[in-house]
Amino acid sequence: MSFRTIAAYVAVFASLSATVMAEEAATVQSLIKQGFAIVGTFQIPTGGAGLLLQNKDQVFFCLATETPTSPALTTRYCKPVQ
């Protein structure tokens, strides 16, 4: 295998790795680390808390839940608001 072929494989692998890392599920904690602020909260009738996080023109809705034995609230999901 030539050096160019190996270099091409490495470039493709690095590109795919960055894509996978970029698509990791957002959490309340990861969004706050990115500069988002909690701008609204509300109770979900089925249990849990809804949070609205904003950073400039980006807004995310997150759902956090807990169980009686859980040590902390857990982010169920965060989705961008469009």
For 7-62, what is each residue's pLDDT tens digit? Answer: 444 444 444 444 344 568 999 999 999 999 999 999 988 888 999 999 999 999 99
**35 part of a folded domain:** yes
Residue 8 in any domain: the answer is no
More confident residue, 77 or 5: 77
Task: Please tell me the distance from the alpha carbon of residue 72 to that of residue 74, in angstroms, as a whole number.
Answer: 6
How many domains is the chain partitioned into structurally? 1
Domain range for 36 is: 25-80
* H helix intervals, the chain: 3-22, 28-33
Task: Please report the pLDDT score of residue 47 as a whole number.
Answer: 83
